[in-house]
Amino acid sequence: MTGNSRDTVSGDFGLSIEEPLIFEQDSPGALGVDWPEADIGADRLGGLARSGPVGLPSLAEPTVVRHYTRLSQKNYGIDTGLFPLGSCTMKHNPRLNERMARLPGFADIHPLQPESTVQGALALCREVQRWLSVLTGMPGVALTPGAGAHGELCGMMAIRAALDAGGAANADRRRVLVPDSAHGTNPATAAALGFEVVSIPEDGRGRVDPERFEALAGEGGVAAVMLTNPNTCGVFENDIRRIADAVHEAGGYFYCDGANFNAIVGRVRPGDLGVDAMHINLHKTFSTPHGGGGPGSGPVVFSDALAPYAPVPRIVEEDGALRLEEANGRAFGRMKAFHGQMGMFVRALAYMMSHGADGLRQVSGDAVLNANYLLRKLEDVYSAPFAHSGPAMHEALFDDRALRDTGVSTLDIAKAMIDEGLHPMTVYFPLVVHGAMLVEPTETETRASLDRFIAIMRGLAERAKDGAPLTEAPFHAPRRRLDETQAARKPVLRWQAEG
Amino acid sequence: MRYLPITGADRSEMLQAVGAPSVDALFSDVPEDALLAEPVDLPRHAGEFEVEQRLSRLAARNRAAGAGPFFCGAGSYRHHIPASVDYLIQRGEFLTSYTPYQPEIAQGTLQYLFEFQSQVCLLTGMEVANASMYDGATAAAEAVMMANRVTRRGKAVVSGNLHPHYRDTAATLARFQGFTLEAGPPAPAGGEDLASRIDGETSCVVVQYPDLFGNIRDFSELAEAAHAKGALLVVVVTEIVALGALRPPGEMGADIVAAEGQSIGNAMNFGGPHLGLFAARTRHMRQMPGRLCGETVDADGRRGYVLTLATREQHIRRERATSNICTNSGLCSLAFTIHLTLLGETGLRRLAALNHAGAVSLVRRLGERVVTPHFFNEFTVRLDGDAAEAVERLAGEGIIAGVPVSRLHPGAGLDDLLLVAVTETVGADDIEALAEALS
């Protein structure tokens, strides 16, 4: 026996029940779905019928329901508690949105059935475009990208297409300026499109130094800047207009990573700041569920300069009817099959309609207030490198200076939070501060929940100084720390029958 | 506002703690003239009933597939989804969880991803599968890029019978990444010669199985021809239920399988979200895009699961990542794996057989106008006139007859062709209705 209190007959305790793989519960003869045997007669498979079994296990419905219920109980979700993952905006996911997305008129329609039979769906897409356009102050909206990083790809392809349209003069524009604090997807996206990534160092205030930026932009060959604003250091880039002017003067475009749009939604329009393209993570700001890692949705808003290059399909109105435009001479191409993440559009629109212009303004206000509150209540025990660079936006950034000489790391604090019933914050990101802890409470937490978080975090800092065994946490989660080295060194990526 | 719990009293006290006179004062770093003084010009907040009413009105303006005979396919299929699937994926611990970067409290997600990857391997006959991609089209585009990395070549030979949206998604990346995509013209009756187009520059051959027109063929010889020239075979599957009845691509020598998994567990949703499946050979594992879940042990020696081989990914490698991909289709992969677990070996085989039986029965009724010799649950019919017009006319009569080829191949001279899919949700009376309407 190892661990603590695991002294039951079964090894399980209370609601913490071990659950084998479905393959280990195979019960040949059991059925989870009652389909009849088909009477085909001669098949038309041209000799390509499967010759042997697929190898899938057989389980009856009660076993299946219990299996996934037990698995779900090993997960932490927003429904469970505070989920302060910085730059991920884990806010409440209203169930109304789920109900709306499941209306047969939205869920049970085919992307290629006659356009005359899906006018409501096309109108809904247009309505989502209208909300996003008004909220961002940007005229063009491409709906199709399937996630945030996919939106980045879309935005940067539009920039490349616009530069290419400028002819030979732009052929050498290959440099994309990216701050060190950026999400990894920014440099990965730029590199994937053949751009050369030039990193912009952080200036000591958690921001881009405008003079340094102007110098870099002045070196020529600039295609674009990719800037997150509010940035991942948790502050607003107050020189954003100078940065926008500098990149435009250099002949490049301004791509804004919209991951942190929640901090400014309803109060600031990126279009007023000189942005040319920005993706919007509907699963962040507009609360479509993260679902354990997707599906996401990453519409991109464009300035007048870039809107003509947006990908197909586009929704156009003709003779009072909406239709899908599948070809357009200036469109740079296509992002994925069909017309975008419709199921996510329904959820996001339900969310936007529920909040309205007034509610969305309160969203950003409360999100920012909550983050500042946490920052002020914790900065005396956890060091906050940019606490005096101006008000925090919707997240509070700490480094690990306060943990120095305790033997406890950022990771240990994160794992100790698990034992306290919290999901950890984002750790070791952004890369510009040592042992980063990026805390984003969002606007959907109560004051009591924030105060509980503060009390726990202060307590953990104390315990770290007192030499508590945090380096071994968690003790009370479904699993202790997992051996990631073994997983990578000897990858076992699937179940296989023994023998 | 029902989703916002901070009260006026909370706000005053918190502002005091923060040392700010107002919420607006917290935005002092924003250029003053860019700060909106008033809410933007959009409607004000609305109660749940009002939102429900307005969205229901929009939904009512769409003709749901369940309202009558329905035969659309071409990459999105209407299959029955058991009630327990939709219930289970809406459990909050699944629905509202994040990517499982903290494995100690995400074993639920990680274990089902491990089971999902195992199921995808079994279905496709491949050795390793990832935790899913955005959709089939992006999976196919990533497959081409992976083949380019593996072979260090830059030319993909693409079947003319690959779904045009898939082709265009890959072609868009090709345009910006500087690789070549050589796509042939569509061949509705099949029989393309792809082997002769492979040369020493070819990174991969991309085929679809069943193809856009419904044709199925054995790609074993093509695989050999590709391998002989050092190229990979990429097999795209847009109707994954087919692999319950057909020989899997892995048995034909495929190196990468990129598929659309929507058919199992997921509604059509007007085309999204769908579910990209991606499977390959173990020897190319480290060149794969996307998230991978692997088995390991915890500090107490108990079996557990983690995301692994992350050194391929953007959050570690930044500009040197194998792909910029940062997400999968988590909840769609959960729906897929639950539905496939319910189906099991027998259920999947029966489901596939029912699909094929329905298609065979309609093909028998339509006779010689069917141009697809061998098929699974979808085939191509040649009509006397314009297929798009016929579809529009029949929609007026309550029958959604299928997808006109001109919708996907406009101006290709294929305007009289109609793609017809028959799944288990199509009844004998539906088949009769369409056969009658087309006669």
Please give the helix or strand (H or E) that residue B83 lies within, else none.
helix B83-89
DSSP state of B6: -
pLDDT at residue A151 tops 50: yes
Q: Which helix or strand (DSSP H or E) is residue A222 part of?
A: strand A222-228
Average pLDDT of span A66-93: 97
Q: Give the whole-angstrom CA distance, residue B168 versus residue B150.
A: 22
Contacts of A275 (CB under 8 A, 6+ apart): A136, A138, A244, A254, A255, A256, A303
Query: pLDDT per residue over B73-106, tens digit each?
Result: 999 999 999 999 999 999 999 999 999 999 999 9
C-alpha to C-alpha distances, A204 to A402, A432, B244, nearest whole angstrom: 18, 9, 59
CB contact under 8 A, A370 and B97: no
Distance CA A122, CA B104 (A): 42
- How far apart CA B253 and CA B235 sit, in angstroms, is 10
B400 in reach of chain A (CB within 8 A): yes
Mean pLDDT for all residues in chain B: 96
Q: What is the pLDDT of residue A498?
A: 79
B286 interface with A at CB cutoff 8 Å: no
Which residue on chain B is closest to A379 by alpha carbon? B18
What pLDDT score was predicted for residue B326? Answer: 67
B100 touches A: beta carbon within 8 Å: yes
Nearest to B373 by CA among B162, B217, B238, B235: B217
The phi, psi pair for A31, rounded to 5°, reads -130, 140
Query: CA-to-CA distance for B300 and A9, rounded, in angstroms?
Result: 18
Whether the per-residue pLDDT at A145 is higher than 50: the answer is yes
Instruction: State how far the Cα of B272 lies from the Cα of A339, in Å rounded to an integer.
Output: 7
Q: How many residues are present in chain B? A: 439
Phi-psi region of B132 (alpha: psi -120 to 50; beta: other; left: phi over 0): left
Task: Kindly determine whether residue B30 and residue A238, on different chains, have CB atoms separated by under 8 Å.
Answer: yes
Range 6-65 of B in CB contact (< 8 A) with A: 6-7, 10-11, 13-15, 17-20, 23-31, 33-36, 39-48, 51-52, 54-65
Can you tell me the distance from the alpha carbon of A96 to that of A148, in angstroms, rounded to the nearest whole number?
Answer: 24
- DSSP state string for A153-195: HHHHHHHHHHHHHT-GGGTT--EEEEETTS-THHHHHHHHTTP
Burial B306-339 (b: 16+ CB within 10 A, else e): bbbbbebbbeebbbebbbbbbbbbbbbbbbbbbb
Burial of A52 (0-12, 13-18, 19+ CB in 10 A): exposed
- The per-residue pLDDT for B324 is 74
Degrees, nearest 5: CA angle A355-A358-A359: 35
CA within 13 Å, CB half, A476: 10
* A224, A157 Cβ separation under 8 angstroms: no
* One-letter identity of residue A43: D
Classify residue B62 by its DSSP letter: B
Q: What angle do CA B231, B237, B243 make, to 5 degrees?
A: 115
Average pLDDT of the segment spanning B405-428: 98
Closest alpha carbon to B237 in B178, B163, B307, B164: B163
Across A64-96, b (16+ Cβ under 10 Å) vs e yields: bbebbbbbbbbbbbbbbbbbbbbbbbbbbbbeb
- Give the pLDDT band (50/70/90) at residue A2: very low
Mutate which: B32, B96, B274, vs A, most A CBs within 10 A: B96
| Model pLDDT for residues A398-430, shown as the tens digit of each residue | 999 999 999 999 999 999 999 999 999 999 999
> Above 60 in pLDDT, residue A3?
no
Whether pLDDT at A5 is above 90: no
What was the pLDDT predicted at B171?
98
Kindly determine whether residue A359 and residue B165, on different chains, have CB atoms separated by under 8 Å: no
Residue among B28, B109, B132 minimizing CB distance to A75: B109
User: Looking at residues A133-137, what average pLDDT do you find?
Assistant: 98
A357-399 pLDDT, tens per residue? 999 999 999 999 999 999 999 999 999 999 999 999 999 999 9
Burial (CB count within 10 angstroms: exposed 0-12, middle 13-18, buried 19+), residue B295:
buried
Residue boundaries of the structural domains of chain A? 97-352, 357-485
Inter-chain touch B72–A110, beta carbons under 8 Å: yes
- Between CA A307 and CA A296 the distance in angstroms is 22
Q: Where are the domains of chain B?
A: 66-81+344-438, 83-338
pLDDT at A499 (0 to 100): 59
- What are the residues whose beta carbons fall under 8 Å from the beta carbon of B12, sequence distance 6 or more? none
User: Residue A79 is nearest to which of B34, B92, B292, comparing CB atoms?
Assistant: B92
Architecture category of domain B66-81+344-438 in CATH: Alpha-Beta Complex (3.90)
Flag if A337 and B260 touch (Cβ within 8 Å).
yes
For all residues of chain A together, what is the average pLDDT?
95
CATH topology of domain A97-352: Aspartate Aminotransferase; domain 2 (3.40.640)
Preferred mutation among B52, B105, B283, B322 to probe A, highest tally of A CBs within 10 A: B105
Q: Which CATH class is domain A357-485?
A: alpha beta
8 Å CB contact of B248 and A373: no
> Which pairing describes strands B417-421 and B202-208: parallel, antiparallel, or unpaired?
unpaired
Residues of A367-380 as b/e, b for ≥16 C-beta within 10 angstroms? bbbbbbbbbbbbbe
A298 and A311 in contact (C-beta within 8 Å)? Answer: no
CB contact (8 A) between residue B6 and residue A190: no
Predicted confidence (pLDDT) at residue A4 exceeds the cutoff of 70? no
CA–CA gap between residue B25 and residue A372 (Å, rounded): 12
Would you state the pLDDT for residue B281? Answer: 98
Distance, C-alpha A272 to centroid of its chain: 24
User: In this structure, are residues A141 and A361 in contact, taking their beta carbons and an 8 Å threshold?
Assistant: no
Mean pLDDT of A443-449: 98
Contact assignment for B330 to A67 by CB distance below 8 Å = no
Q: Does B428 touch chain A (CB under 8 A)?
A: no
Q: How far apart are CA A144 and CA A336, in angstroms?
A: 7
- For residue A6, the model assigns a pLDDT of 62
Burial A456-491 (b: 16+ CB within 10 A, else e): bbeebbebbeeebebeebbbebbbbbbbeebbbeeb
Q: Given a cut of 90, is residue A16 above it in pLDDT?
A: no
Mutation target among A351, A394, A438, A494 for the B interface, most CBs of B within 10 A: A494
Q: Tell me how crowded residue B37 is: count the other CB atoms within 10 A of its CB.
A: 6
What does the pLDDT read at residue A15?
87
Which among B104, B128, B295 is the top mutation candidate for probing chain A, defined by the most A β-carbons within 10 Å of its own β-carbon?
B104
Chain A contact set for B117 (CB, 8 A): 493-494
Would you place residue A39 in the very low, low, confident or very high pLDDT band (cuts 50, 70, 90)?
confident
- Which of A310, A165, A163, A139 is CA-nearest to residue A247? A163
List chain B residues with CB under 8 Å of A77.
92-97
d(C-alpha B212, C-alpha A45), whole Å = 16
What are the structure tokens assigned to B62, written together? 């769409």
The B residues from 219 to 278 touching A (CB cutoff 8 Å) are: 243-248, 260, 267-275
Q: A293: left (phi > 0), else alpha (psi -120 to 50), else beta?
A: left
Within a 10 A sphere around the Cβ of B5, how many other Cβ atoms? 16
Q: What are the pLDDT digits (tens) for A161-195?
A: 999 999 998 989 999 999 988 988 999 999 989 99
Gap between the Cα atoms of A30 and B282, Å rounded = 32
- pLDDT(A1) > 60: no
CATH number 3.30.365.10 given to B83-338: no
- State the DSSP string of A431-488: TTSTT-EEE---TTS-HHHHHHHHHHHHHHHHHHHTT-SGGG--SSSSS--B-HHHHH
- Indicate the residue of A32, A337, A373 with minimum beta-carbon distance to B135: A337
CA distance B418 to B434: 12
Weakest mean pLDDT among A60-69, A176-185, A245-254, B202-211: A176-185
Contacts for B254 with CB less than 8 Å, ≥ 6 apart: B124, B125, B126, B219, B223, B233, B234, B235
Q: How far is CA B337 from the centre of its chain?
A: 14
Question: Tokens 């006659």 map to which residue?
Answer: A114
Sheet holding B378-382, edge to edge: B378-382, B417-421, B403-404
Distances (CA, A) of B374 to A89, B380, B383: 50, 11, 19
Q: B188: helix, coil or strand? A: coil
Greatest alpha-carbon pair distance for chain B in Å reads: 81
* ipTM of this complex prediction, to 2 decimal places: 0.97
pLDDT tens-digit profile of B309-355? Answer: 987 767 767 777 777 776 789 999 999 999 999 999 999 999 999 99
Q: Among the residues of B330-415, which ranges form H helices? A: 330-366, 387-396
Contact B289, B277 (CB under 8 A): no
Average pLDDT estimate for B174-192: 95
Residue the block writes with tokens 């809107």: A307
The minimal CB distance from A486 to the residues B15, B92, B297 is found for B297
What average pLDDT does range B30-35 have in this prediction?
96
**For residue B148, which of B222, B225, B202 has the smallest C-alpha distance?**
B202
Q: How far apart are CA B4 and CA B10, in angstroms?
A: 12
